[in-house]
């Protein structure tokens, strides 16, 4: 049995896929995907916050048939989940971006292509027809940014995701300690690190250094992938503001998603500006350390927008029960990034599919154990301590039926 097949068959959780990815990747590459900013307080709290939430399940409900499907951003999805934008995937596994996009299409969920992907807008559209969203970082080079948007429109992407929480890059100290910098340079430390993972190293030698295809031409002098990545860092636009976001709203005629909001007042302003959805996100703990966990911010944002726009959640999703918890607290869907990154690094497309299968199976099982048969039936009364706020969300059919049980004389 191949190592890739073995990694998939022996993975029963996202944690198992993470461990398989750690064994396959050099430390520098794994830490780049896995790590966060500074002391990684927010990175850890994104996961820990879900673990602090306790469920209050219904019992004696017929859950022999459960439907996980729902509507995400106005179109059907097999579960309340979309793939978050993740950059530089090809450094972990050759063809990784396409592999994740294909896994998403097969699973019936939307896929978001990152600006810093190692596959182009057009290549993803050709290789992985499905529900496609494109995430744009805001660059100083506005003609280049506008060309991205025009290309995504021409390729049929249904939504544009604008990331608003990255005026400058975060300080990720794992990368410094591993000599993982851009522009990349070989050092005795990282050469030794790469030598400890011969399967990964042989793949790199066979296929060559990955190229961030959407960034080609950003700077004429940037030839290597690491130089291109460095040019992106120099081209972030720290002056991007609400007026600039409004201009992008006017330029893009399809769905606009604003990602990276934690404050209720910012969420209200984005909705008023014309955003079609808001993603509550702290960038996976990779930028500003010490901000609140995404799931802790979610209920306040949901309450503030009052149903005017869908609210999605990004950050900390490691279990199917996390999807149900987010949905119960008002998220229309969640975005997952590291889960499928671990999967694709461990076993390519098969690993990415395995990650999504694990999450959907766990989500269905959690629904059954909580006594709900449809995603739309998930409400706040499934969260311990939230029953007083249960009327803020949709009541489950099952709980209503239970309330009508009559005691016969």
DSSP state of 158: S
Distance CA 308, CA 278 (A): 10
Integer CA distances (angstroms), 404 to 58, 369, 371, 399, 400, in order: 14, 21, 16, 9, 7
Distance CA 329, CA 217 (A): 43
Distance CA 147, CA 142 (A): 8
- Report the candidate in 132, 138, 135 with the shortest Cα–Cα distance to residue 109: 132
Q: What are residue 136's DSSP bridge partners?
A: 162
Mark whether 300 is an active-site residue. Answer: no
Q: Is the dihedral of CA 322, 326, 332, 337 positive or negative?
A: negative
Q: Is the dihedral of CA 232, 243, 161, 318 positive or negative?
A: positive
C-beta atoms surrounding 99 within 10 Å:
26
Give SS3 for 115.
coil
DSSP state of 263: -
58, 146, 283, 300: the active-site residue: 283
Q: Is the dihedral of CA 310, 311, 317, 321 positive or negative?
A: negative
Residue 201's φ and ψ, nearest 5 degrees, are -65, -40
Q: How distant is the alpha carbon of residue 380 from its chain centre?
A: 23
Those residues with Cβ within 8 angstroms of residue 126's Cβ, 6 or more apart along the chain or in another chain? none
Q: How distant is the alpha carbon of residue 374 from its chain centre?
A: 23
Distance CA 282, CA 92 (A): 23
In 302-398, beta strands by DSSP E:
311-314, 333-336
Integer CA distances (angstroms), 206 to 198, 202, 203, 257, in order: 12, 6, 5, 38
Q: Exposure of 84 by Cβ count < 10 A (0-12 exposed, 13-18 middle, 19+ buried)? A: buried
Catalytic residue numbers?
283
């Amino acid at each position: 049995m191949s190592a890739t097949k073995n990694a998939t068959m022996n993975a029963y959780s996202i944690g198992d896929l993470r461990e398989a990815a750690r064994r396959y990747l050099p430390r520098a590459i794994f830490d780049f995907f896995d790590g966060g900013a500074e002391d990684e307080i927010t990175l850890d709290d994104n996961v820990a916050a879900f673990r602090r939430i306790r469920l209050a399940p219904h019992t004696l409900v017929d859950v022999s048939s459960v439907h996980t499907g729902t509507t995400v951003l106005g179109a059907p999805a097999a579960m309340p989940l979309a793939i978050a934008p993740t950059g530089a995937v090809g450094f972990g596994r050759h063809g990784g971006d396409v592999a994740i996009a294909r896994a998403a299409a097969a699973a019936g969920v939307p896929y978001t292509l990152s600006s810093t992907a190692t596959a182009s807008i057009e290549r993803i559209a050709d290789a992985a027809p499905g529900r496609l969203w494109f995430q744009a970082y805001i660059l100083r080079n506005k003609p280049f940014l506008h060309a991205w948007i025009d290309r995504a429109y021409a390729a049929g992407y249904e939504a544009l995701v604008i990331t608003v929480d990255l005026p400058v890059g975060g300080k990720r100290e794992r990368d410094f300690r591993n000599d993982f910098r851009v522009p990349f340079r070989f050092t005795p430390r990282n050469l030794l690190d790469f030598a400890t993972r011969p399967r990964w190293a042989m793949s790199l030698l066979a296929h060559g250094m990955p190229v961030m295809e959407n960034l080609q031409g950003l700077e004429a002098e940037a030839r290597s992938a690491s130089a291109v990545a460095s040019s992106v860092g120099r081209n972030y636009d720290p002056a991007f503001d609400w007026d600039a976001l409004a201009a992008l709203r006017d330029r893009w005629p399809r769905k606009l998603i604003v990602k990276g909001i934690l404050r209720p007042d910012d969420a209200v302003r984005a909705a008023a500006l014309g955003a079609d959805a808001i993603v509550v996100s702290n960038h996976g703990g990779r930028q500003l350390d010490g901000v609140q966990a995404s799931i802790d911010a979610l209920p306040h944002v949901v309450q503030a927008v009052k149903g005017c726009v869908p609210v999605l959640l990004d950050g900390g999703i490691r279990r199917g029960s996390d999807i149900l918890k987010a949905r119960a607290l008002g998220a229309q869907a969640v975005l997952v990034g590291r889960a499928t990154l671990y999967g694709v690094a461990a076993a390519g497309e098969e690993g990415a599919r395995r990650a999504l299968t694990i999450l959907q199976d766990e989500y269905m099982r959690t629904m059954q154990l909580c006594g709900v048969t449809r995603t739309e039936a998930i409400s706040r009364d499934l969260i311990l301590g939230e029953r007083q706020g249960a009327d803020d969300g949709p009541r489950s059919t099952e709980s209503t039926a239970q309330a009508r049980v009559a005691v016969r004389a």
